[in-house]
Amino acid sequence: MCRGTERKVFSIIVFGSIINEGYVNQKSSPILHCVFNSNESACNYGVTIGLVAFLACCFFLVLDLYFQQISSVKDRKKVVLLDLGFSGFWSFLWFVAFCFLTNQWQRTPASKGVTHGGDAARAAIAFSFFSIISWVALTVMALQRYRLGTDMSLFATDQFPTDPNAGYPGFPTGSGVESTETYQSPPFTETLDTSPKGYQVPSY
């Protein structure tokens, strides 16, 4: 899950750079505009995706800490699927952020304000690209974790709920219980006939 500190750091750099130095003055106007071609949508998108990514990392970190305490197999699968789906979706959003911010920065006309906020803009673009790699790697790890879901360490089979309609299991084969057929007669036994043939008790 989202254990990596670098993902949080990348997210903080992206939205922190835009918030602190991503809004500059245009010429002599006191109104602040987005450094990315004065496109407010670009700044808002960068701040939003970075902030949500940071909060999501904290959320999944807490889930990861309590994952072993989740007894239900279905709940464990839901957590892994949530991690997989979110990581893949956010990898795509980081890709969109990188392309969007890069395109708007290339269209930004040079000015004094843009020069002042240029470092923040370039930092946001660079760490958006790094975030793509980081979140794609996280998606691959989540996918591998889901594929290993049948492993005892993740989805233990002894945690499946017992079917109330199922009967009690029988004795396993080779349990040591022997049938009566395995017993044999004790050795040196004879069948005694109380009235042997050819012999009669004499009468007195």
Task: Encode pLDDT of 113-139 as tens digits.
Answer: 788 888 999 999 999 999 999 999 999
Joined tokens for residue 4: 């990596």
Instruction: Look at residue 13 and tell me whether its pLDDT is greater than 50.
Output: yes
Query: Residue 58 falls within a domain, yes or no?
Result: yes
> pLDDT category, 152, cuts 50, 70, 90?
very low
Q: Distance (Å, rounded) from C-alpha 155 to C-alpha 172?
A: 25
For residue 57, is it within any domain? Answer: yes
Is residue 13 a part of any domain in this protein? Answer: yes
Is residue 189 in some structural domain? no
Q: Which residue has the higher pLDDT, 183 or 116?
A: 116
Pairing of strands 32-34, 23-25: antiparallel
- Choose from 17-21, 61-65, 143-147, 177-181 the range with maximum mean pLDDT: 17-21
Burial 47-85 (b: 16+ CB within 10 A, else e): bebbbebbebbeebeeeeeebeeeeebeebeebbeebbe
- Establish if 115 belongs to a structural domain: yes
96: phi then psi, degrees, rounded to nearest 5: -65, -40
Name the average pLDDT for the chain: 78
**Calpha distance 157→182 (Å, rounded):** 37
How high is the pLDDT of residue 95? 97
Please determine, for residue 201, whether its predicted confidence score (pLDDT) is greater than 60.
no
DSSP state of 150: G
Give 14-35 pLDDT, tens digit per residue: 999 999 988 888 766 678 889 9
Domain encompassing residue 67: 5-152
Instruction: Please report the pLDDT score of residue 122 as a whole number.
Output: 93
Q: Work out how many domains the chain is built from and give that number.
A: 1
**Is 171 among the domain residues?**
no
Residue 76 belongs to a domain = yes
- Please write the tens of the pLDDT for every residue from 77-97: 888 889 899 999 999 999 999
Residue 181 domain flag: no
Question: Which of 42, 53, 9, 162 is closest to 108 using CA atoms?
Answer: 42
Position with higher pLDDT, 161 vs 125: 125
Residues 29-67 have pLDDT tens digits of: 678 889 998 899 999 999 999 999 999 999 988 888 888
CB 155 within 8 A of CB 73: yes
User: What pTM did the predictor assign?
Assistant: 0.69
